Structure 1
């Protein structure tokens, strides 16, 4: 198997980042996320798109959502430059899914299935070090001393977007916008569903087996 092109999908808290890191290491592919791609290309000239601003940086500096046209262009650039990839966080809606079809042919489409109750528990239990950014979880990965970072001794806090109200709102947006994309790939018989409520190692075993099977067919 050479340079597989992998899409991994799932709700916030499903474990996409954890599994993407293992995919990147094992299969020697690029981890392409919209956030990283935007930061790497924030000064790209997008004046030919006829939008309000001429670079992604201007949208980001204003705290505005970067338009789909810009995200599509940046993701396409990242995929072209990658010798194999795992794409994480895109497409978020059907318009982006149709754009992705024009950009590349995918070898594997993975969906990590996790119940909403489990997602809320995972996300509301996350704690982040204010100093170094290390992540912990009150149940699954607690620090040695409550509220104190193991790495640097900084204070651990709950991010504003990890409160129960905010988490449920994020999941509602995901259900409305991104679940139809998963159903689209399922209807195209491209989707491989993975039980994301297993341990990370068990999820990885299923992910690895699926990629090895699907990318060689």
Structure 2
């Protein structure tokens, strides 16, 4: 029976990278809300009394998919997985309570990173508009500053990577998801891992926690 792991952390903490690696290491499904939504775009939710009949219609309209629909999709993804690393869910207390009802967690891990470090990480990203290559001014800079190694185009900073947008994302995270972290801390199941080391150091600590 595969392990059930929940990885929590603010934007820029490295959740995506680390949960992928954990899933490979322990042979688990990597379940993200985004992927689960995309793979269930056509799911029939007409019995839910929601505005649309499929999740895809919310996405096409650029609207937030309601909690009850996200919950149903996550439940579908988790029940069909023999062990998983859950990343990007639950985003609020209601979702956390729903998760408790549908599954047992073996490990709840919070990647802790200081706000200023998160701002540095998130505002440092640069992307190539032509070939899509991604860089970071500090952690993975191109050979020539501001120029793509792959195709020579000028690198850009995305609108959602500006400091103002990043700070707003962190504020929204704090408002919605910080109570989820507290919820698991109060239950005594939260393990906090320092997310500020190198990706390899952080990964080794996570493996130790899961193996414990």
TM-score (norm. length: structure 2): 0.96
Moved more, 193-202 or 131-140: 131-140
Give 3-state SS (helix, strand or coil) of 1:91's partner: coil
Work out the CA distance in 1 between the residues paired with 2:114 and 2:59: 32
Aligned position for 1:204: 203
Q: Describe how 1:81-100 pairs up with structure 2 within 5 A.
A: 81-100=80-99
Aligned position for 2:160: 161
Moved more, 25-34 or 150-159: 150-159
Deviation track 1:11-62 (CA, whole Å, cap 9, x = no partner) reads 0000101111210111000110011111111111110101010011111111
Pairwise CA RMSD: 1.2
Post-superposition offset of 1:155: 4.1
Post-superposition offset of 1:132: 3.9
Aligned position for 1:26: 25
Work out the CA distance in 1 between the residues paired with 2:184 and 2:178: 10
Give 3-state SS (helix, strand or coil) of 2:52's partner: coil
Q: Does 1:79 align with 2:91?
A: no
Aligned position for 2:59: 60
Q: Describe how 1:176-215 pairs up with structure 2 within 5 A.
A: 176-213=175-212
Structure 1 unmatched runs, 5+: none
Post-superposition offset of 1:152: 4.5
Give 3-state SS (helix, strand or coil) of 1:171's partner: helix
Q: Does 1:8 align with 2:28?
A: no
Work out the CA distance in 2 between the residues paired with 1:24 and 1:116: 27
Distance 1:34 1:132, change over 3 A: farther
Work out the CA distance in 1 between the residues paired with 2:149 and 2:4: 36
Work out the CA distance in 2 between the residues paired with 1:6 and 1:141: 29
Work out the CA distance in 1 between the residues paired with 2:94 and 2:171: 18
Work out the CA distance in 2 between the residues paired with 1:134 and 1:5: 33
Deviation track 1:135-155 (CA, whole Å, cap 9, x = no partner) reads 210011111222333344454
Structure 2 unmatched runs, 5+: none
Post-superposition offset of 1:156: 2.5
Aligned position for 1:45: 44
Give 3-state SS (helix, strand or coil) of 1:44's partner: coil
Post-superposition offset of 1:192: 0.6
